[in-house]
Amino acid sequence: MIHMCNKTQATEVLNPYLTGAGGQGQTSPYATAGAYFAHGLIHANQHSQETTNFFLDGFRNSGQNEAIQHGLSLGLGLTSMATKDPANYDHLKNTLFNNADSAIIGEAAAYGMGLTMIGSADGDAIEEMLSHAADSNHEKIIRALGISLALIMYGKEQQADGLIE
C-alpha cells in the first residue's frame, strides 16, 4: 500500500518477486502471486491496456500454478475495477469455469469478476454467477460468487431486492 498509485516504480519494486532476480534465486509461487496482487493494488482502478496485457502475460506464463493464478485474478480484478470491461470479465469467467476443480483459482477469479463489474447490475453476469454457484461444490467459490453478486448490485438499492430474495 506504500506504493499505491506509484505506477512509475511498480515494476522496479516488484520485479525481484516476479523474476527471482536480485540474488534471491527462484522466487516461490506465493511471492510471485503476492507480487501480482500488489501490482493490482498499485494500479487499482487505473485500467489501461498495458496493465491488462501485463496480467494476461502472467496468466500465459503461470504454468497453471494455483497460487500464481490466484494473485493474477485478484490483480486483474483490481485494475479493471468498475470498468465493466467485457474482455477482462470474460477472461476471469473462463478462468473460473476452466478451473472448476480448484477452489483457490475459482475463488479469486470470482472476486475478480465482481470487481470488474461493480455497480453494473449486468443481467448476464448475474445469471452466469448464479448458475455457476448452483453447480459448484466448493464453498469458497460459492461465497466469492455471492460477494461478487453483491458488488455487481452495489449502489442499486431497490433494484437489488429481487436478487437478494
Q: What is the pLDDT of residues 29-55, one digit of tens each?
A: 999 999 999 999 999 888 999 999 999
* Domains recognised in the chain with CATH numbers: 7-164 (1.25.10.10)
Task: Calculate the alpha carbon distances from 128 to 75, 131, 135 in Å.
Answer: 22, 5, 11
**Which single residue is written with the C-alpha cell 489501461?**
48
Nearest CA to 6 out of 53, 54, 49, 42 is that of: 42
Q: Would you call 163 helix, strand, or coil by DSSP?
A: helix
Mean pLDDT of 85-108: 96
Q: Are 154 and 117 in contact (CB under 8 A)?
A: no
pLDDT at 25 over 70: no
Say what the pTM is: 0.91
pLDDT of residue 142: 97
Q: Which of 5-9, 85-89, 155-159 has the lowest mean pLDDT?
A: 5-9
Let me know how long the chain is.
Answer: 165
Q: What are the grid coordinates assigned to 134, written together?
A: 448452483
Distance of alpha carbon 9 from alpha carbon 76, whole angstroms: 19
Q: What are the grid coordinates assigned to 40, written together?
A: 493490482
Which pLDDT band holds residue 23 (cuts at 50, 70, 90)? very low
The string over 58-91, giving b where at least 16 C-beta atoms fall within 10 Å of a residue's C-beta and e elsewhere, is bbeebeebbbbbbbbbbbbbbbbbebebeebbeb
pLDDT of residue 19: 74
**Computed from CA positions of residues 22, 24, 29, 31, in that sequence, does the dihedral angle turn out positive or negative?**
negative
Distance of alpha carbon 90 from alpha carbon 111, whole angstroms: 13
- The residue that leads in pLDDT, 156 or 8, is 156
